[in-house]
Structure 1
Amino acid sequence: MSHNPPMMRATTILAVLRDGLLAMAGDGQVTFGDSIFKHKARKVRTLYDGKVLVGFAGAVADALTLFERFESQLQQYSGDLRRSAVELAKQWRTDRYLRPLEAELIVGDPGQLLLITGQGEVIEPDEGILAIGSGSVYALAAAQALLRHTNMDAEHITLEAMKIAAELCIYTNDNITIETIRAEN
């Protein structure tokens, strides 16, 4: 009889970009096996002097390692989000140390939003909405509906969509952290 240790899981990260305002939110729940392990995890951060938002789903230590690498790319490329994302994705895919890291990242600034994966993907969404994690489909669907059928700003869309995801996904709670950045005029 083999014993597999319980898996740490659960995250919902949602980012919405509308009218020069980027809002990114993460729930606070972390589960370990079939137990809630933590209620107030912080899964969204600001980087590059508050000009870039980053959210993660996956293993925390892996995500923090990727945050550090991404921030060094931002420094190297003077805040160029796309180039920094592509360079991180290339390193993540080819570096022996980074390759096994298990996480997904959403990165954004008021001009663009990108998903970065360990498979070398850098994806920009069509509608300015990205979601990752166990509750991502719920948050994404709610955000799309709110974006298409209301005049709500990005922050309010993000908050309401995350609340809906928390009602539907057992791995998502309503302890929501939201960070926002606005385009400079």
Structure 2
Amino acid sequence: MEQYRGTTILSVRRNGKVVIGGDGQVSMGNTIMKGNARKVRRLHNNQVIAGFAGGTADAFTLFERFEAKLEQHQGNLTRAAVELAKDWRTDRMLRKLEALLAVADSEASLIITGNGDVIQPEDDLIAIGSGGPFAQSAARALLDNTELD
């Protein structure tokens, strides 16, 4: 069975503010199944924002696990991300999940992968999903050439 996929998630940090946005499209093959999916969520008492790219059911499982890690580590984003990545890499059930998470709080922006990677990208600019390279290029051009807030 073909997995639901097709996403663009973008996170930009500028002047002490961070935002994560994403499309709402869920597709199966070349067919758009849904156009208004919520791929960005607020977590841990609205102190963390997170977006996902990949399998929808997989992402919901990861959101739940990540929120539990945030609670366990008193909202420490980096520690929670590292602990989730460890579990994701080593747990037999989680290892099969196919998704990427983009997460951010007031201080850090991170990408969490199923390979056990926690990446803090240059310039706190994150773009994941099938449209990520296009979104990243456009965002970088705007950041480099404008003063937009």
TM band (smaller chain): over 0.9
1:14 is the counterpart of 2:33: no
Question: Partners of 1:118 and 1:130 in 2: how far apart?
Answer: 17
Q: Which has the higher contact order (CA 8 A, sep 6+)?
A: 1
1:25-174 → structure 2 map (5 Å cutoff) = 25-153=21-149
In structure 2, C-alpha distance between the alignment counterparts of 1:21 and 1:110, rounded to whole Å: 7
Q: TM-score, normalised by structure 2?
A: 0.97
Task: Give per-residue Cα distances to partners, 1:37-91, cap 9 Å, x unaligned.
Answer: 1111110000000000000001111111111111111111111000000000000
8 Å Cα contact 2:4/2:56 also seen in 1: no
Q: How many angstroms apart in 2 are the aligned matches of 1:62 and 1:41?
A: 14
CA RMSD of aligned residues (A): 0.9
Structure 1 position 32, deviation (Å): 1.3
> Structure 2 unaligned runs (5+)?
none
Change in CA separation of 1:148 and 1:103 when aligned onto 2, cut-off 3 Å? same
Which SS does the other structure have where 2:27 is aligned? strand
Structure 2 distance, partners of 1:7, 1:97, is 17
What is the CA–CA distance in structure 2 between the aligned matches of 1:75 and 1:32, rounded to whole Å?
34
The residue matched to 2:93 in structure 1 has which SS? coil
Which structure has the greater CA radius of gyration? 1
**1:113/1:125 contact within 8 Å kept:** yes
Q: Distance in 2 between matches of 1:34 and 1:85?
A: 33
Q: State TM-score, norm by structure 1.
A: 0.78
- CA–CA distance in structure 2, aligned partners of residues 98 and 6 of structure 1: 19
Q: CA deviation at 1:7?
A: 3.9
Provide the aligned length of Structure 1 versus Structure 2.
Answer: 149
Q: Compute the displacement of 1:136 (Å).
A: 0.3
Unmatched 5+ residue regions in structure 1?
154-185
Matched residues in 1 for 2:147 and 2:101: separation? Answer: 27
Deviation at 1:6, TM superposition (A): 3.8
Residues 17 and 112 of structure 1 are in contact (CA less than 8 Å); yes or no, is this contact kept in structure 2? no
Q: Distance in 2 between matches of 1:64 and 1:46?
A: 13
